[in-house]
Structure 1
Amino acid sequence: MIHAVLHEREDTVGVAVVEGIDAGVMLHAWIMDDDEVVTVVAQQDIPIGHKVALKDMAVGDTVYKYGIDIGKVVAPIRTGEHAHVHNIRTKRW
């Protein structure tokens, strides 16, 4: 079962495409451009439509989703954690 999608291997987050991703679930993320699947363990519950970290990220790192720079990390994010407004902010402000 595919739990999340991302466009490019360099993306640092994937988007949850199913409900019920609970902490501890072995999460399968489909890389659309490569037609490959990567696997991470969900460290937190991930709501459908929200982002899941595919790698560890430190404060100041750039977050990539669908091959696009979507912002910067404002609180450390570990692989498998929920990535959202509590740990990512736009670079516009």
Structure 2
Amino acid sequence: MTDPRLLLLNPEDNVLVLRRGIDAGERFEVGFCEIVADRSLNLGHKVARHAIAEGEPVLKYGAVIGVATAPIPAGAHVHVQNVRSNYTPTYSLPEDGA
């Protein structure tokens, strides 16, 4: 059973999307595992549906959105600290605006 605060967008996805924020220290379920959030997570952020190995594609909407740059445990926040985007080489814009 997965926590109702989390949304699976596609059965192939290895991430779940938060339907509402979860505070640091709050417990939530991913599959049959109980996770304690190590940080506050906002609405719309992603957590790992199951462990994702370094180099493994990250799937959302059934499509590859990036590649894990480090091992990601089940329930961990999936974001720029552990995923390289397939859409942009960086999450910041060049300083000259070019």
| TM-score of the superposed pair, with normalisation by structure 1 | 0.74
TM-superposed CA distance for 1:83, in Å, is 0.6
- List alignment gaps of at least 5 residues for structure 1: 29-37
Residue equivalent to 2:12:
10
Find 1:61's aligned residue among 56, 63, 77: 56
Once the two structures are superposed, the pairs formed by residues 1-93 of structure 1 within 5 Å of their partners are 2-23=4-25, 25-27=27-29, 38-43=31-36, 44-45=38-39, 46-92=41-87, 93=89
C-alpha distance in 1, partners of 2:32/2:60?
Answer: 17
Deviations 1:67-93 (A, max 9, x none): 111010001100010110000111354
Structure number with bigger Rg: 2
Is the partner of 1:14 in helix, strand or coil? strand
C-alpha distance in 2, partners of 1:88/1:49?
Answer: 16
| TM-score of the superposed pair, with normalisation by structure 2 | 0.70
- List alignment gaps of at least 5 residues for structure 2: 90-98
**Considering only aligned residues, what root-mean-square deviation do their CA atoms show, in Å?**
2.2
